[in-house]
Each structure stands twice: as C-alpha cells, then as structure tokens.
Structure 1
Amino acid sequence: MTNRQFKALCALSFVTFSYVGVSNAEASDITLGTPTENITLSPQYLNVQWNGLPINTAALKVNHQTQTITNLKTNGSVSASWTLQPSGIQAKARLNNNELTLSFAVSKHSKIHRNQPITLDWFNLDEQKTTSLLLPFGEGMRIPINHPQWAKYLDDSHSGANTTQDLKMPFWTAEINDNFFSYQLITATNNQLNFAPTKHKVDMQAAHQFTVLNRNQPFTVVISRSKSVLGGAQHYRQWRIANKLSESFDVKMKRNPQLQRLIGASHVYLFGKDPLSIQDVRDWWGLKDWFFNDSSLAVSKEANRELGNLTQGKDWFSQYHKQLLLDSISISLANKFSVARPTLSDNTIKAQFDTAQQRTQWLAKHAGKFLITPNKWGQALSTDMLASFKKAGLNKLWLGFDNWMPAFYNPEVIDAAKNANYLVATYDSYNTAIPAGTNDGWLTAQLPTPMRQQCAIEQADGTKKKGFRGNGYYLNPNCHLAYVQQRILDIVKYGRFNSLFLDVDATAMAREDYRDGSSESDMLTAFNDRMAWIASQDQLVLGSEDGNSLTTKGISFAHGLETVGFGWTDKDMHKNRKSPYYLGRWYPDHKPEFFFKPAKVKTPYKTLLFSPQYRVPLYQTVFHDEVINNHHWHTDILKFTDVKAARDLTAMLYNTPPMVHLTRDEALSSNSPRIRALKHYQIAFEPIHQQLWDKALVNFSWLDKQGVIQQTTFSDGSKIIANFSNKAFVQGNTKVKALSIRAKLSNGKVIEWQSKSF
C-alpha cells in the first residue's frame, strides 16, 4: 500500500456522524444507499445484502469469538463506524461511487504477541445464492458453485491459500443472480482463504491477521458490482491505473527499445550446461581412448564401469555411452579447473567465466582432433541451432538458459543470437541460499555463507524459513542488496545477455521476517525495488516467475500463469513411472525427462484446469498491454498430449505467446518436430500480437451455451474466436474450423489457425 492510499483510508475516521449509539442492543442493521445501489449490513455479524442479494453471510468473528458492538455511528446513507468488543477493533463502512469500502483497524491498546496474531474472520460466501466463483488462481478460473468435483479440488488444493502468492491478483468475483460482485483486497497481505465444501457445493471463507509487524496497517476491502464476468478484473485494472501502480508496455519500450524484440516472440528454454554436445564429436572411440589413457583427467567409478571395457569393433557405442563419456569429461574438467566458493567480496562470476574459457581451450588443445571446430561447440545453444532457426523463418525468439554457463563457454554464439534479433537470457535467483556440498550444480543458490546466515527469514516461532525443497534457507530480498546487484551486473556482462529471467521475485512470495521486522508489505516492496533496479540497467529486458499483480515493477514478461503447476503430491505424476501421467525424471541433466517426456493429464486436473468453460482471462484483462505472460517453464506447450489443443486455442484466444523447450538434438534441422511446432505457432501469434501488444482485452464472451465457442475483444475492436469443439462453427458469414481460431483484426487482417500435433 502506498502512503497516499494509507492516508486516504485513515481519512475515513474524520467523517462527521449524525447518530451515536453505545450498546449492542441498539446496534441494528445499517442501510447505505444511492439511487441505484442499496446495501444492508449487520455490524455485528457482517451479513451484507446488496439490492436484496446476499453477498456475505454471517462471518464476523475475532479469534473465533463472536463480537458485540459499541460506539455505532452513522452518517445518513453514506457511512458508518463501530467498535467490536472485546477485541477493540475499529470498523468502518462507506458507500462511495457505488463501491462499498469496509475497513478494520486494531486499537493501539490491543495486545498482539509475536506468535499470537489477531485473526479477523470476515467473509463467508453464500453458496446457496451464488452461481459461480471467479478466482485468479493462475490466469483465471470460472467455478460453478454446484459442482462437487470443484468443491473437493479447492478444499484439497487451495484451502489455506494466501492472497499474495497464491491468488495471483488480490480480488475474487461472485456471480449472484446475473450480477458479478467483486471483492478487492486493498490490504492484500496477511490474508487466508479456505474452501470447506458445504453439501458438495463450493464454499469459501476469508480471514485477515493482524500481527506484531502489520498492526498499524488497517485491513480494507472494496466491494463493487458489475454486469460483466470481467467486472472485477476491470475494476482492479482501473484501480491500479488510478493509484499509479500500472505501467504500460508501450511506456516501458520507450525507455528500453530492446522490448521490441518481445513483440510477437515465441519463448524457448534451452537445456544443457556443459561445453560439449554429442553433435560436437567426430571420433567417439578416439575420444574414449584419449580420456582413459592420455588425458590425465580423473575417471569416475561409473565411467570406468560402463565405458572402460568397451572395445572398438566388438561393442556398440550407444547414445547412453556417448552422453556418459561427455558428462564424465565435463565433471573431470570441473575438478581440474575449479572455482572457489563465493564470498561477499568476490562473487566468482569472472572466475567462472575465465575457468569456462580455460576448459574449452584445454579441450581444443588436447582433444581437438576428435571434435568439430570449437566455435561450433555448444550443448544448450550452437551455431547450427541458430542456422535451423533462421532456415525455419523463426525471426522472433526469447531464448532462455537454465544457468549461465553455456554463455560462458561460447560467448560468440550469444552475440550471433542477438545479431539475429533474439533475446538471450539466463535464469537467475536470490531466493534460496544453500551450504556447500548440498547441490553444487545449483549455481544461483551458491551464495556467500554470511548471506545464508544473515539474510535467512526468521519466522514468528524463531526458526529460520527452510529454502526451496527444504534446502538451505529462504532469504529476505532487502538483505545484502549490493552483492545481488553486482552479481547480476557480472552475469550479464560476462554472459553478454540482453535479457534476464529472475526466479521468484515476481511471485509475490511475501513473508514476515522477524529478523529485521519486515512485514509482508515490506517484503513486496523489496522485491519490487530489486526488479525495478534491474530493469533500469541499460538495454536489459527483465522477466520473472508468475508476474503476480503485487510484484510487477520492472518486468516486461513473466512465466507461470497461463499454465500453473498442479498435482505436486500426486504419485502417478511424480513417482509411478508406468503411469501415462508420469511427468518424468529430472534426468539426464542435458535433457531432463520432466521437461521433454510427453504425458497425459489425469482427472480431475484435465477437466478442471484445462476445459475452456472453466477458464476466464482475468489476468489478461488487467495486464495484456503491460506484462507478456506465459506458461510455467515446467510445462511447455508440447508437454501434455491430451490437452494440447485446449492449451493452444486458449493461448491464441488470450493472445499469449507459445513456449517450447529445446535441446541441441531437438533442433538438428529446420524440419525437426519442435522447430516445426514453433514455426506453426509463429504463423498466427506473431501477426496477431504485433497488432494487439499495446491493446487492452476488454470483453470475453461465449458464443454458445456450452462455452466451447469463445470470443475475446480488444480495445481496438479486434476480435478472436476460438472453437474448442471437434466440428466447425458457423455464425452468419463467420466460419471457424474445428479446434481453430479466427482473428479479425482492426487493421483488416483475418487470420485463421488450427491446432496441430508434431
């Protein structure tokens, strides 16, 4: 919350009231009204009716205790205030511009202990009268209330969700009697949502916590009414603009012309971290014999066991053997030319670059006769891959590495990619710090010991917050910022990157830190400040994970919301290798199955998360002309075979870019399947996005009763129709083929495109 917003909320307390009551017996319902809106509110229980429709049922409790009312004051039909007892919480209600604002503040006398916050239960959905619930979990979910499967899924997967990281934008919308009532949390931090089903119906409750660290911040929610399914998102968009929290892509591009390269670009993750690919070897038997007999490199037990007895003319040198040999050489080289652990005074990025160059030069000198020309080497990106891109006509790409080492081994190929008009980025993160020996290949988490010790988030119970997957500690982004800034500058300098993907910062992963008294709001500010600083660097295009609405400063693109993670604990997806839903191993390193193995989506995820009738473009309504969003990198557009068409058409309908994973062997020619897939997506996405990148998504509608024919409308009048069905759709002179989109753009172009498998 900005100072301006906070002062505006505090100003409510200076309203002059016309009626005073002092006892609970006198505390009857409050009526607020305008010529078009009539609201009845119970100050004790917070039942709220809007034009006779129940938008909140009896919910109000403090620390699970029903309150009584004192000091009730009203100002005609405009506002009211009262005190909840015994908690002493000050409550206010105000109707202004047909919006109902509710605000709650703890008294300065209220006792809040570090491990004992005050919990305000304030919202309870009326599941009997509500038809559907619109939630920005991911891009947007449209959830029928009378749906047992949804009720169970929300309870299992989202109960306990917060409204910073989990809810991607701090609002939700309830459809009641063809009205859409939206609840925007002005105070987006320290909230929790619960979804306990009631008689197989979706039900939802919300609570706010006042803690030692946020006690001076009132909790405020604004409720508005609309006739549009996008009403809540449109209201939030206008609020962001009015409060100067929004910055259009056009404004960002005027400051950094490199953003032009994102317009119409497909997003590609490149895998591999070592200097050599299988395609770089000319003589396998010669390389093997050199490694074992002449290289002076250490040979691991695994390499000796699997490769040592192989004999030319007798044994077959399989793909497995080839990759094992290259992996073994890389490990041995890393031990021969090693880099010390980073310290606060030396982040070792220059040393990593110098060492990478030493390794390649040593290989070229001692093993060059078994390999192709060194300037063509590259496991993640190479000159022959760039040639495949060019031959396929892929003129706009964002290329992302999962770490910066490929660029350190072959900086010339990075320059060539940039000269081809591509953005080239590396993954980076400062969210988790791990001790030496935990996972030395996890480069981003190799942070100085003082950072891991001094920046670790301290929880209310005094323990340090365990890091990603329980490794090391999560860090406060306000700590040792100078080190972070210098490492970023060095990574960009030595990697020659013109883009950066910063993991986690834009997920709005807000936590309280009792180490230095950082509230959740303070942490959001620290994330935003860090991203804004990175984006201020010359000609650097910044992206981050998710792009949650509370943490979008500086970013121009985000990965995460168009397909979010799901089924994290599902054994069929993560452990049962015989299951068609198994996502794959995180092996081999240069091409993990998890990213490349095709898989199916099991019930209920297939139905609930990918069926078009349950999707609604809430995020794109707010951010289409501000942040280019995409899928989470775990699941590129080719990952799930049985929902591919639905994902394809949804992305085209919302005008969001495709994401495809690549390795060297998947890009051997312009006709390889994944290159052909990229070309197919580009045919439609690039010209549509070139027209719509700076336009707002203003309308979304179903053109049939089932929701399999959907239409988006943009602020310039352009319309996109998606046909998710298996038969053609005809309406007047408009025909859309099965599993296709038809875009009629304001520039006169008509683009038709059909989902295909490759």
Structure 2
Amino acid sequence: MKKMIIVSMALILIIGTACSHKSSAKTPSQIDKENNKRTEYAQGNFTYEAIPETFELKVTKDGTTETIAEPQAKRKVTNLKKTKTETSWDYPDEKLHVTIKKQVKSLDVKIHSTNPKTSHFEWPRVDAPTYTLPISEGKQIPQNDPAWKKFFTTDKEQTMNEYFSMKFFTLNKEKFAASYVMPDTFNNDILFHTDPAIQFSINHTFSSVNKEKDYKYSIFITDNNPVAIAKNYQNYIKEQHQFTTLAEKEKQNPEIKKLYGAPHAYLWNSRVLTDADMHWNKLKTSIDDPLFEWMGTLLDKYGEDGATEYRTVLANIKNGEMYQYEKNMMLNSFQYILQMPQLYNPAIFKNPDTTAKKYIDKGVANLNEQERYDLNKHLISSHISGLTTPVDEWGQSNATQIIQEMEQAGIKKAWLGLPNWVNGLMNPASVDAAVKAGYLMGPYDSYQSIQQDASIDWNTASFPDPKLYEDATVENEQGEKLTGFLGKGRKINPTLVFDAVKARVDGILAEGIGFNSWFMDVDAAGELHDDFAKAHPTTQKEDAAARMKRLNYLNKKGFVIGSEGGNDYAASDIAFAHGLETPVIKWDDPDMRENEDSPYFIGKYASMDGSIPTRYSKIVPIKEEYKPIYTSPVYSIPLFKLVYNRSVITTHHWEWDSYKVKGQTGERRLKEYLYNTPPLFHLDEANWKLHQADITANMKNWTPFQQEALRHEMTNFQTLDTDRLVQKTEFGSDLQVIANFSNKDFQSNKQSIPAHTALIINNGKKTTISTDHLE
C-alpha cells in the first residue's frame, strides 16, 4: 500500500435467530480426507489447431470448435514443424521460437526470445462471451456489459502482477471454459479493448535484465463454471508445490490460530499523551517554562512544518485562550518532540526522575528506540510537576482500555494493527494488554519507498544508511530513478535492503515489545519492478523473491504475517491479507482523492485531533459507475476462496473497511459471511464507544462461523436466481451460506430467506443474519 494511516468503522448489528454453530460431527481425519480428496476438472479429450502465420489457436471438443486465441497480423514464419501432439515454428523478425505441445490434461505454449535487448510480444488476444478473471477476489464479466466497457475504456491497461490475484484467466465459451494458467505473471500487462465488445490481450515484456526469456502458458479445458475453473487451478498449484494450508503454517507458528474467528481492527492510539492525560490548568501557569521555547527550537530545526503554528498557539495560551485548537496543537507538538532523539537538553532538564537519569547515565546516543521514547516521556513528565497524569497512565484511554473492554465484552479473538511501530513502542502497556487478552497485535511496516533524509513523519521510508538512497533504488531502462509513494522519494530495491530490514526489526524488538503479528505493506500486492541499474540489475522474479525472504524472516521470528493485497505468489508466506475483498477504489478519481468539496471525497491522511483520519473514518458513497466494478455481488465470484480458503485469510483494504461505503454496509456484511471474509474496522476511543454493541453482537456469530469455515475447503458456489442476487457458498459438506442481496424474499428448499438476509446452515443448525437495520 501506501503510506499508512487508517480509519473509523461502523460495524453491524446482527439480528435474527442466533443459533449456536456446533462443530462438524466429522472427525478431524474425516475432514482431512474430505479436504484432500482430488477431483479432476481438466478435460484432456480435445484437439487443437494452431495457425502459425497469425498465431490463431483453436480447440475442438465434443464436436465444438472454439477460437481461444484470436488471429493477429500475419508474420513471417520459418522452421515450421508438426507432429500429432506438437507444433513449433520461428518468427525470425521478432527472434522468437514458439512451441505448442498437447499434454494429457493441457495444451502447453512456450514462446522463447533470443533477443538480448528488451522486446515485447502481444499474445494471446482473446474474445469470449464472458470472462472469469481473478481480479481481487474474482469477477465474472460479460463482454458486452456497459459498466465494465466504460471502465476498461479508461482503465485500459493493467499490470497483471497487481491486477490479478492468481496466475490465470479464463474464457467462458459456449460449451466449455478455456483457462490460461501461467507459472508466474511477471512482465505481463493486460490490454483491454472495448470496441465493439470487451476483448483483451496480454503484452509480455522480454526484459533485457532477465536472462530467462521464456513466456509460458498451460491451457486447460474445463466445465463452464467458477468451481471447475478455480479447483482446476488449485490442482495446478498443488502439483507445483505452491499450496500451503493454514494448518501447515500453524505447525510452524501456533499463534496463527488466534486469527481463526477474529475481526481485524486498526487501533488508533496515535498520541501517547492524550487530552485525558493533560492537566490543562497547569499548562496555563507553566507556559513560560524554558521547555516550551526548547520545543519550538526543536520543531523549527527538525519538524517538517516548522514551529510557526506552535508559536502562535503559545501566544494564544499566554493570552488566556485554551480552546480545542490550542489543545490539539499542543498535544501534536508533544507527540512530535517525544519521538525526537534530540529532546534531552541538560540545560532544560536539570532534575530528571530516576528512570530518566538511568537512561542519561547509559548515554542518550546508546539508547534503542523504545528506550529513547521512555526517556523522553519521563523527561516531560518529571519536568513540570503536575502537568500530566503519571507517565505510566499515558495513552491508556485510547488503547489499553479499549482492549480490556473488548475482552470484557466477550470478544475472545481479534487482530489489532497499529498504524506504525512507534505506537507500540511508546505505549507498550497496550501491546501487553492485547497479548494478555489472547489477541494478535502488530505494527504496520513498509519498505516500498526511501527518502533522502530521515524523517519522523515518514519513518517507514527512513533508513540510517544514507548510501541506500543512491545505491539501492530502482532505475528504469532510461536510467531514471522510480519515484516513491505519492511521488516522494524513490522506490527501493528489495534485494539490497535485507540487512536494513533486520536492523529495523531488531531495533524495534530490542526491549522485548510484545508484538506477535507484523503487517508488511505491498509485499503481496504485486508492485514488482525490473531494476535496470547497472550496479544491481534485478528482475521482477528476484524482486518478489526478496520480498518473500523478508516475510519468511519475520515468520521465523514467530510473527503472524499479513500483507496488502494477497496475490498468490505470496500465499505460502502470509497468513492474512488486507485488500483482496475490497481493493483500493479508483485511485485516480480526483473527486475521491483531491476535490475536498466533492461528496465522494474519501478524506485526508492526517488527523489534527488525534482521532482516526477521515481517509478511513469518513463514510462516503461511491459513484454508481464504480459499484459494478468494486462492490456489486452480481459480478463477484469467490475465485480466491475456492482456491485458498484454507490457506490465506483475506479481507478489505483499510481504506474501505466494513462501514466505509455509504449505503452498502448491509450488502457487504452479507458478503463477509458468504465469502468467509473477516470484518475490518478502525478503533479509537470514540469509535469503540459508538460501535461496541454492534461489534460484540456480530462477533457472537462471526467467530464460531469462521472457526468452522476455515476447517474446510470452499467446495461450491452457486447463483440461485437469474439476477445473480441470491448466492450460495458451501464449506465442506455440512456448512453452507445463502445470501439474499435482493429486495424480495427467496424460497430455497422450503426455507424462506428474507431480503437483505443471509442464512447459515451448519450441521442442520440455522442462523439468520439480517442487515435491514444497518442502512
């Protein structure tokens, strides 16, 4: 992702027959046998015809012939060879050799380049009545659908690494489906065409930095339904030894069990010194203390925004003004200087308390990050007697207290993420409270961008070694450095910073902070690069491997690892992912991202009052044109879950938590149960108080439901009505969910399912999830 700062959440009250979910009557060995039962979905009884001059490819099955790769402009062909099962030829002008081989279950295509320079080859171009694509969780797109045609008219080019969560795409022909399965998606761009109907082609780059010049597909013929398509792909990745279950991951790290049935929440304890910790009357009488002038000096010298506004607030306080603006500015200034290594000044802090003196005697320059924060807290706390509550009580109202109340409310499992590791190091008591409650808690971390100068404001892009900015950043083929997030800094090459990763992690853990989870930004989101720098040429494959190396490093340290996206090259290295179920919605729409007066503006990254930034807490509608693309159940299919339900727990991107989209809270709640998607929300003191009853009620159903659903494969998905608004998923043979997204009741096996309701049937026990009250 992006520079992380996160949200408020409105959760959902569950109403209905709150029947308890009993465990399956099957024994674990019976469930294992059921999960591991192999069904063959690939149908090898087909023939093929390749036309080398145009690279048209046809398949004939049961008397039906379909074109699965459209003809292109004619090329010069040499060295043509044909046997009963194999066809090969050269395109001499492009320096390409093509081999097509009929295997028992597939048709394998290999295109090999002998050109040492960077070159491109666009193939296949495909045309089908409907496409089944692993866009995020999964989409089924009719080629004449007006909403998708409009979308692909503007968003006509996509990077496959980022856009597809899995390594295949499928053409739904009239009598069968043709799935193009790839060993990887590196160096592929998807080019969409919309006139007269949606078609697309894949443009492969044979990069000059990549000595492996092969572009490959295995094409499978299956029945024309999402289950056959997804399960065939699952068989493929199992054969490639690329499938690892949560149970297998759990053997390496038992902490993963704490995810099963857990909601996901970002905890916004952004200030360690809060309004509740300040004795404001004492501040009015202490404002002339040299400390406050020293703070201004530090802010002038090291603060990104300087000290102009801070000094204005000091003047206001001296004049008797102590409004919320002044309080917020002072708290923000304290938070900033508490992170500064330069805070200690013996001329100011003449009588440090025992704890501070211990750190000073050790040598301020020798302190690790957590010790430095503790020193600074004690310096401030002890300098002006009575200015604050005791330092050990700082920040508890927006952290420890919430966690304790969650536990008291009966929430037995939760994943809690911090916007930054600083939040934990400044408030280690909150981390201890989460661990004591049986929860997972971890920091957000990122190695996407690097800035030239270290900064408190963007510490994830700050590295102690100044040489990394020049020597470890990514270049394009023209020798230009790639810019970092939001155009700031540069993109860092992951193959060159493993030592920096270890140094950062070891520094964070130096005092034994109780983190038991870790969230790594973008490592599973597919943002991979070829680096053409002469000193360190790197392929996308090597980029991905370096990211997995650092995830594996954190895995071995015992952390439960999550990442943004969840694309399946990372599936064996992560336990959970944020962003697959609801991805970032229309990143480049100015009404959503720039125009603050627009009703669709999603909010700002920063919060001046210490609450959840509006980027995440503001409830906004999305434009009608985006609903089919991002949220509508009509086009959504659980492709990823049909493959990875037992392997990776996936939920929403933090920009689009369970309550972010105005008018769709109930619809998204139903889909969370249908797809086994944990609710994701954001908490601070105010939001917890607002939604406590809501969250607690939902967890009484969610936790046992997911604990059961994760024991099984997702075995089936069906649409039960012609409008695709009543849908059914099955997990194993005894757990099913029927979600009615429509505005009318639906009859299923003598069972009436009201509108806007989901029915969970677990071993015959029925639970109704109603959402009418949510909008």
- Tell me the TM-score normalized by structure 1: 0.87
Alignment pair present for 1:99 and 2:106: yes
Matches within 5 A, 1:396-435: 396-435=413-452
Residues 706 and 161 from structure 1, CA distance in 2 versus in 1: closer, same or farther, beyond 3 angstroms? same
Whole-angstrom CA distance in 2 between matches of 1:696 and 1:253: 17
**CA displacement, residues 23-81 of structure 1 (integer Å, 9 cap, x when unaligned):** xxxxxxxxxx99831322212212222223434343456xxxx42222222221x2222
Residues 338 and 624 from structure 1, CA distance in 2 versus in 1: closer, same or farther, beyond 3 angstroms? farther
Alignment pair present for 1:653 and 2:674: yes
* Alignment match, 1:322: 327
Contact 1:379 1:406 (C-alpha < 8 Å) held by counterparts: no
Alignment pair present for 1:496 and 2:517: no
Alignment pair present for 1:214 and 2:226: no
Residues 380 and 124 from structure 1, CA distance in 2 versus in 1: closer, same or farther, beyond 3 angstroms? farther
Matches within 5 A, 1:699-738: 699-738=716-755
* Alignment match, 1:229: 226
* Alignment match, 2:133: 135
Whole-angstrom CA distance in 2 between matches of 1:34 and 1:456: 47
**CA displacement, residues 60-113 of structure 1 (integer Å, 9 cap, x when unaligned):** 56xxxx42222222221x222222232231111122233111111123xx3x32
* Alignment match, 2:561: 542
* Alignment match, 1:440: 456
Q: Which amino acid aligns with 1:226?
A: T
Contact 2:43 2:220 (C-alpha < 8 Å) held by counterparts: no
**CA displacement, residues 443-472 of structure 1 (integer Å, 9 cap, x when unaligned):** 111112122221101221112221112221
Matches within 5 A, 1:288-307: 288-293=284-289, 295-296=291-292, 297-299=294-296, 300-306=307-313
Shift in Å, 1:649: 1.4
Shift in Å, 1:123: 1.3
Higher mean displacement: 726-735 or 643-652:
726-735
Shift in Å, 1:294: 6.6
Q: Which amino acid aligns with 1:752?
A: T
Alignment pair present for 1:193 and 2:194: no
Shift in Å, 1:389: 1.1
Residues 190 and 225 from structure 1, CA distance in 2 versus in 1: closer, same or farther, beyond 3 angstroms? same
Alignment pair present for 1:471 and 2:488: yes
**CA displacement, residues 411-439 of structure 1 (integer Å, 9 cap, x when unaligned):** 122112101001110011122110116x5
- Structure 2: which 5+ residue stretches go unaligned? 1-41, 297-306, 345-364
* Alignment match, 2:620: 599
Contact 2:759 2:767 (C-alpha < 8 Å) held by counterparts: yes
Q: Which of 274, 279, 286 in structure 2 is aligned with 1:277?
A: 274
Q: Which amino acid aligns with 1:550?
A: Y
Whole-angstrom CA distance in 1 between matches of 2:424 and 2:185: 40
Residues 498 and 330 from structure 1, CA distance in 2 versus in 1: closer, same or farther, beyond 3 angstroms? same
**CA displacement, residues 511-534 of structure 1 (integer Å, 9 cap, x when unaligned):** 111232221112122222221122
Matches within 5 A, 1:22-101: 36-51=45-60, 52-60=64-72, 66-76=74-84, 78-101=85-108
Q: Which of 260, 268, 271 in structure 2 is aligned with 1:263?
A: 260
**CA displacement, residues 563-601 of structure 1 (integer Å, 9 cap, x when unaligned):** 111222222212232322111122315321111111111
Whole-angstrom CA distance in 2 between matches of 1:165 and 1:404: 26
Shift in Å, 1:648: 1.4
Higher mean displacement: 188-197 or 417-426:
188-197
* Alignment match, 1:752: 768
Shift in Å, 1:236: 1.9
* Alignment match, 1:173: 170
* Alignment match, 1:30: none
Q: Which of 141, 144, 147 in structure 2 is aligned with 1:146?
A: 144
* Alignment match, 1:560: 579
Alignment pair present for 1:525 and 2:557: no
Alignment pair present for 1:484 and 2:491: no
Residues 429 and 414 from structure 1, CA distance in 2 versus in 1: closer, same or farther, beyond 3 angstroms? same
Shift in Å, 1:666: 2.3
Contact 2:740 2:753 (C-alpha < 8 Å) held by counterparts: yes
Residues 388 and 125 from structure 1, CA distance in 2 versus in 1: closer, same or farther, beyond 3 angstroms? same
Matches within 5 A, 1:365-384: 365-367=382-384, 369-378=386-395, 381-384=398-401
Shift in Å, 1:617: 0.8
* Alignment match, 2:360: none
* Alignment match, 1:203: 199
Whole-angstrom CA distance in 2 between matches of 1:441 and 1:570: 26
Residues 335 and 531 from structure 1, CA distance in 2 versus in 1: closer, same or farther, beyond 3 angstroms? closer
* Alignment match, 2:605: 586
Identity of aligned residues (%): 26
* Alignment match, 1:8: none
Q: Which amino acid aligns with 2:81?
A: K
Residues 459 and 208 from structure 1, CA distance in 2 versus in 1: closer, same or farther, beyond 3 angstroms? same
- Please give the secondary structure, in 2, of the residue aligned with 1:566: coil
Q: Which amino acid aligns with 2:457?
A: G
Shift in Å, 1:559: 0.8
Whole-angstrom CA distance in 2 between matches of 1:505 and 1:521: 13
Q: Which amino acid aligns with 1:322?
A: K
Whole-angstrom CA distance in 2 between matches of 1:214 and 1:580: 46
Whole-angstrom CA distance in 1 between matches of 2:561 and 2:499: 18
Higher RCO (CA-CA < 8 Å; seq separation 6+)? 2
Alignment pair present for 1:616 and 2:637: yes
Shift in Å, 1:332: 4.2
Shift in Å, 1:169: 1.3
Shift in Å, 1:508: 2.6
Whole-angstrom CA distance in 1 between matches of 2:637 and 2:199: 20
Shift in Å, 1:338: 4.5
Contact 2:368 2:510 (C-alpha < 8 Å) held by counterparts: no
Shift in Å, 1:691: 0.6
Whole-angstrom CA distance in 1 between matches of 2:510 and 2:44: 62
**CA displacement, residues 309-362 of structure 1 (integer Å, 9 cap, x when unaligned):** 3589x86x54433322211233344457459xxxxxxxx995321221012212
Contact 1:429 1:504 (C-alpha < 8 Å) held by counterparts: yes
* Alignment match, 2:121: 120
Contact 2:44 2:221 (C-alpha < 8 Å) held by counterparts: no
- Please give the secondary structure, in 2, of the residue aligned with 1:679: helix
How well do the aligned residues superpose, as a CA RMSD in angstroms?
2.6
Whole-angstrom CA distance in 1 between matches of 2:311 and 2:507: 38
Q: Which of 695, 714, 717 in structure 2 is aligned with 1:697?
A: 714
Residues 349 and 241 from structure 1, CA distance in 2 versus in 1: closer, same or farther, beyond 3 angstroms? farther
Q: Which amino acid aligns with 1:710?
A: Q
Q: Which of 514, 533, 540 in structure 1 is aligned with 2:532?
A: 514
Higher mean displacement: 326-335 or 703-712:
326-335
- Structure 1: which 5+ residue stretches go unaligned? 1-32, 340-347
Residues 638 and 380 from structure 1, CA distance in 2 versus in 1: closer, same or farther, beyond 3 angstroms? farther
Higher mean displacement: 85-94 or 243-252:
85-94
Whole-angstrom CA distance in 1 between matches of 2:57 and 2:173: 13
Residues 247 and 57 from structure 1, CA distance in 2 versus in 1: closer, same or farther, beyond 3 angstroms? closer
**CA displacement, residues 364-391 of structure 1 (integer Å, 9 cap, x when unaligned):** 3235624334333227953221232123
Shift in Å, 1:694: 3.1
Shift in Å, 1:178: 4.6
Residues 506 and 35 from structure 1, CA distance in 2 versus in 1: closer, same or farther, beyond 3 angstroms? closer
* Alignment match, 1:308: 315
* Alignment match, 1:21: none
